Structure formats: structure tokens, C-alpha cells
Amino acid sequence: MTDQADVPESLGAPSGAGPLDELTGTVVDGVRIEAPFQPADTPDPFGRLWTPHRMVYIGGQNKPADDSAAQCPFCAAPGRSDTDALIVHRGESAYVLMNLYPYNTGHLLICPYRHVSDWTEATEAERADIGRLTARAMEVVRAVSHPHGFNLGMNQGQVAGAGIAAHLHQHVVPRWTGDANFMPIIGKTKPVPQLLGDQRDQLAAAWDTAPTGLDADRPVGPNH
């Protein structure tokens, strides 16, 4: 379906022309032009939020070719600069980085440096470091973005929802009252209002200065 704005100039349709009755049935670049469902001079009632960057995730272009460390983005990230890899903080046995395809603003991942896939494979030191970094990530995000809650968790195995199952990672997802609205539920689109690089810069800057524990700012309002 199309409207007057979609008709190529090569078809000779003048700007501001009337209904497309004379063009109905014409095939342009393999697409058949159909009559609009409303008069041509009626404003389009639908708003559209274009998220073309999601096609990289949908198409799987960034998926590792196999489960080896050589193909793993979580193994490659520590060898790059913090800015390029979106790393927020480097710990002793694990590090914190932005999720490239976030569920919500400020969505962080805690990854061990070692290429292990299962929580049972992590050493005691790695488990302790992941736990410490998870707690600190909550404090920092709380101080910077004032969420009303968090989802924490690990998806163990592809069948359990792990996007990169070969490398263990903990999710830290900030949540706000009302963020599970019609957009992700019906529209299958999650608006993320801040660029990942800007989020990384803010969180990295606050890592050493944000309040700890119950001293951290804990919002009570309904919106972020």
C-alpha cells in the first residue's frame, strides 16, 4: 500500500496530485501499487518509530560463528579500549560492559575474563568478583539513572535464552514503573532514549564516586 509521496517521479505523478486510481495495479520495482485505504489528502494516522539498528540483532550479523574463544565478543572486548568496547569497569576476574542490544536504558553485563559458559565452571574468585561487580553496578546505575528496581540474572544455555551461551555473563537490567508498556508488548519495540556511548561515559565516571549500599539514591517517583 502506498500514498502519493511513495510514487516515484519516473511515473510522472505531479506533486500534490489527487488519488492514485490511475496508478492502481502498476508494478514498481516488483511492488504492486494499491489504492490507499483513505483519501490521499487525509493525514496519515499512524506514527512510526524506526529502529533500523535492530536489524543487526535480528539478522544475527554479530553472532559468533562458533563457540570458541577466538569468535567470542566477550573475550575480544577486554583487548579493545573501554570506549570502543563499551566497557564501564574492569575488575580482577571480571569486567562490566554495556549490553549492545539493551532491554532497557543502562542494561549492563558482568563477564568473567575467562571463556567459560556455566556458573559451575567459574572459580570462587570469579564468582566473588561477579557478585561484587553486580552489586556495584546496581549502586552506580541507581545513582546515575534512578531506576525503581532491577532484574538480575544469568541465562544458562541457548535454550534458556542466552544470546552468547559460550561465555558466562550476568545481566543487570534497570527497571522503571511503567516501562513494560504497549511499546515492547504490542509494538515489539523498546525505545532507548540515550546512546550507549553516552551511557557508558556517565556510568564509568560515576563508578568510583557513586554512594554505596543504602546510601545510594533510591527513587520513589513513578517515572524515570
Query: Using CA atoms, how far apart are residues 17 and 148, in angstroms rounded to an integer?
Result: 52
Mean pLDDT over residues 134-153, rounded?
95
3 state SS of 108: strand
Can 89 be counted among the known catalytic residues?
Answer: no
The annotation status of 155 as a binding-site residue, yes or no, is no
Angle at 208 between CA 151 and CA 125, to 5 degrees: 65
Give percent above pLDDT 90 in the chain.
47
61-88 pLDDT per residue, tens:
566 777 788 889 999 999 999 999 999 9
Q: What is the pTM of this model?
A: 0.66
In the block, cell 545481566 appears at: 171
Catalytic residue from among 89, 167, 169, 224: 169
Nine cell digits for residue 16: 500534490
146 assigned binding-site residue: no
The CA radius of gyration of the chain, in Å to the nearest whole number, is 23
Element at 31 (helix H, strand E): strand 31-32
Domains within the chain, CATH numbers bracketed = 1-47 (no CATH), 54-215 (3.30.428.10)
User: pLDDT tens-digit profile of 174-208?
Assistant: 999 888 765 565 555 666 767 889 999 999 999 99
Find residue 173's DSSP bridge partners.
Answer: 151
